[in-house]
Amino acid sequence: MSKVRCQKLFLLIFILACINFSCDDKPPIPEQKFMKVYVDLLIAQDTTATPYNSDSLKSVILASHNITELLYNSMINYYNEQPDKWTPFFDSANAYGERLKLASENQP
């Protein structure tokens, strides 16, 4: 097989692999983990009294969940590309937040 033909074959395989990867319907991170990160971000923004830079606060929370900014943004894009997933996500996030609130109220 000639070198040019091998390069074309490699390029074709690479393009097909990229298309297959981009069509994957799986979220970049588990949805439950993203929901917990999202709720933690909301709680931190609402309860932080000191004037933190919102980007540094976000960085601290993402790091505590071992999530990069890139993965977080990829997850936002995942939901934006499938807007019908936002409503169940917000329902789950609200329920999780309520559970956290009840748990904190029941602690001595």
Domains of the chain by residue range: 28-105
pLDDT at 104 over 90: no
Banded pLDDT at 56 (limits 50, 70, 90): confident
Cα 61 to its chain centre, rounded Å, is 12
CA distance linking residue 57 with residue 59, whole number of Å:
5
The pLDDT score that the predictor gives to residue 44 is 86
User: CB within 8 A of 93, min separation 6: which ones?
Assistant: 35, 38, 39, 42
pTM comes to 0.69
Q: What is the mean pLDDT of residues 18-38?
A: 79
Q: What is the pLDDT of residue 26?
A: 86
What confidence score (pLDDT) does residue 46 get?
Answer: 82
Mean of per-residue pLDDT scores for the chain: 83
Per-residue confidence at 50, pLDDT binned at 50, 70, 90?
low
